[in-house]
Amino acid sequence: MLLSSLITMGRAYMHLLPTIMVFMPSVPAMQAILTEISVLMENTCVCSMAKLTIKSPVTLYGSTKIIVEPNGELIIDGGVLQNADIELKVGSKLVLKNGGSILMRNGKDFIAPIGASVIIEDGMLK
């Protein structure tokens, strides 16, 4: 895998996914694209200059969350992020397009801090 030296692999149902991302500041922008039905079993950090694109149904297991660091991007491109708990940092970016959906975990609200970008081109957040 191209990103294997930069991403610590975590546990996931169906197949292994990059669930804890560790990027070095000197490394060019990296991206991971999820295209299969998946369950993330561990917290996922989309670090600075990294991009995580979800193009299929992805469920966050238990209390797992996605953290998007400054200059990191989370893109839901036609996929569905279920049981979501997303923590956006100032300077991060979230994009919903091509009918992408985020279904928040019960009891969790979607909160975007001032300075984070949320772009809904075509999608749903509930």
Res 43: pLDDT: 87
> What is the DSSP secondary structure assignment for residue 112, as one 8-state letter?
-
Q: Which tens digit of pLDDT belongs to each residue from 8-27?
A: 333 333 333 444 443 334 44
pLDDT in tens, 65-106: 999 999 999 999 999 999 999 999 999 999 999 999 999 999
pTM for this entry: 0.79
Q: Where are the domains of the chain?
A: 7-125
User: Tokens in use for 40?
Assistant: 């993330």
| Residue 28 burial by Cβ neighbours in a 10 Å radius (0-12, 13-18, 19+) | exposed
Any idea which residue has 């469920």 for tokens?
Answer: 59
Q: Which residues in 88-101 are b (16+ Cβ under 10 Å) and which e?
A: bbeebbbbbeeebb
Q: With a cut of 80, say whether residue 126 has pLDDT above it.
A: yes
C-alpha closest to that of 123 among 88, 92, 78: 78
